[in-house]
Amino acid sequence: MKFQTSDTPKETQKPTDQFAYLDRHEREIHDYRTVFISDTHLGTPGAQHEALLDFLKHTRSDKLYLVGDIIDGWRLKRKWYWPQPHNDVIQKILRKARHGTKVIYIPGNHDEAARQFIGNMFGEIAIKDTDIHETVTGIRLWVVHGDLFDHVIKYARWLAYLGDFAYSTLLNMNKWLNKIRRMFKLPYWSLSQYLKHKVKLAVSFMSAFETVMVKETKRRECHGVVCGHIHKAELKQMDDIIYANAGDWVESLTAFVEHRDGRLEVLQWGTHGLQTENNIKMTPSQMKISSGKAA
């Protein structure tokens, strides 16, 4: 009898995560001055920990901002869900902090329990309500999760309740849909992202959110804002104010970064790591900054 043990076809080895395969190859570590991530929602089945861990492994920065809804305390309170990979993500962040990355954690509404520790240090991680980040070219960015202005937005409250239920159902459907898509070798596609663009109410809520954030940024005499909360990555100028949203890691798998030369970019992390097409970019010369507000 002859067994071909060494020639087991790759398909049957079935790596438990899609990035394990990529890790057998040498992969570049992308270097940034600052990285912002938000809405990772660890502690929920929707959190895409494989992609997030892969992102953290293959990026480095002087500063890492965690812009809220990092651990989903709301959902954990209702139902405990904490698999090992979620621990790995936290460990990875702690290790970065130990090895010199300045980590700043700004709690959101889903991890509002952490708000009682604002002003304290959690090991090497600073917990802050909001922060002002200055880019290498002197652009002052106000960093905040964004939920605190929900009350100014019409419908936001009931939308949040209804949304939470509908959203987790949708994310579940999304997971199954993409399992099927993977079987047919189709790329990842977000059902909820798609619907969000289609549903009029959601669209008007998101534009109202952006308007409020820009108004608040002006009031704080900053050149721009970096937030999260609405799970829609964005980088644009509104009224000479830079509006940046880091997106999320339950569906869009995005981060907001500052390059070493001050360029700003929304990154998308795909099944093959950093995606270079369709990223939203802004060079310092493109930034229209109203004068008189410079730092």
* Binding interface with Mn ion (CB under 5 A): 69, 108-109, 147, 229
Please state, in angstroms and rounded to a whole number, the distance separating the CA atoms of residues 278 and 234: 12
- Residue nearer to Mn ion on the CB measure, 108 or 247: 108
For residue 238, the minimal CB distance to Mn ion (Å) is 21
For residue 228, the minimal CB distance to Mn ion (Å) is 6
Report, in this order, helix, strand and coil percent for the chain, each rounded to 5: 40, 25, 40
For residue 20, the minimal CB distance to Mn ion (Å) is 31
For residue 243, the minimal CB distance to Mn ion (Å) is 17
- Residue nearer to Mn ion on the CB measure, 109 or 190: 109
- Residue nearer to Mn ion on the CB measure, 97 or 227: 227
- Residue nearer to Mn ion on the CB measure, 196 or 229: 229
Helix (H, G, I), strand (E, B) or coil at 31: strand
Helix (H, G, I), strand (E, B) or coil at 153: coil
What Cα–Cα distance (Å) separates residue 292 from each residue in 169, 218, 221, 226, 264?
48, 12, 10, 21, 22
How far is it between the farthest Cα atoms of the chain?
83
**Residue found under tokens 């700003």:** 264
